[in-house]
Amino acid sequence: MTCEILEANFAFGPFPASPVASAVALEASTTEAAALAAIQSAWTMAETYTRRHFRPVTAGKVIVRTKGPTLWRWPGWPFPDAIAVDAYVQGSWQPYAVLYLADLGEVDLECFMTYRLQCGAVAAPVIKPNVTQAVRNLASYLMVQDPARREFKSQGAGDSNLTREGYMGPLYASGCGSLLASEVRL
């Protein structure tokens, strides 16, 4: 690996309005507040799985350390139209000129440097019906399969992680993975 992400912070706008919490609550036989929380979790899981942002990004900052020359891709599509790049030189952040290919979201970074890349507002893309249906399926699955709603003789707590691999079970069991397959960008 020629580069590592040291920090990534994004400020997001509101979640999409669909699916409607009352419909998911009725389907899962739960409260609207619980359904809304499950829908927001499902949107976050879908974003992590597809590496796309379905919410508008109001600001983003990523700090990257390079170990060799690399074309580094901005985390999350849609890509910003422009980014501001600073390099950590002699103990402070200083503006630094790099080549940024906005259509591909790639930044040409030199080796053995630490960069701070920042973007402004990025509008949310048009959300396809298959993505909305995937989020609805996943939220319903999360509500129905909640361990508090099922009986166990014994129950163990596992580690939770926000990786694509960590979501594979719920994504495929709910049918969400197959609906999002066309949205996945590697």
Does some domain include residue 156? no
Could you tell me if residue 74 is inside a domain? yes
Q: Is the pLDDT of residue 149 over 60?
A: no
Pick the range with the lowest mean pLDDT from 49-58, 135-144, 149-158: 149-158
Q: What letter does residue 146 receive in the DSSP assignment?
A: -
Predicted confidence at residue 153, as pLDDT, reads 43
Tokens at 2, concatenated: 């020629």
3-class DSSP state of 5: strand
User: Which token pair is 44?
Assistant: 């976050």
Residue with tokens 């049918």: 175
Q: Does residue 154 sit within a domain? A: no
For range 124-151, the mean pLDDT? 83
In a domain, residue 155? The reply is no
User: What are the tens digits of pLDDT across the range 64-82?
Assistant: 999 988 899 999 899 999 9
Instruction: Give the predicted TM-score (pTM) of the model.
Output: 0.79
Residue 136 belongs to domain spanning: 1-149+161-186
Q: What percent of the chain has pLDDT over 70?
A: 84
> What would the pLDDT profile of 79-112 be if each residue is shown by its tens digit?
999 999 999 999 999 999 999 999 999 999 998 9
Per-chain mean pLDDT for the chain: 85
Cα–Cα distance for residue pair 68/186, rounded to 1 Å: 21
Instruction: Give how many domains the chain has, as a whole number.
Output: 1
Question: Does the pLDDT at position 152 exceed 50?
Answer: no
Q: Is residue 93 part of a domain?
A: yes
Phi, psi dihedrals of residue 77, rounded to the nearest 5°: -105, 145
Instruction: State yes or no: pLDDT of 133 exceeds 60.
Output: yes
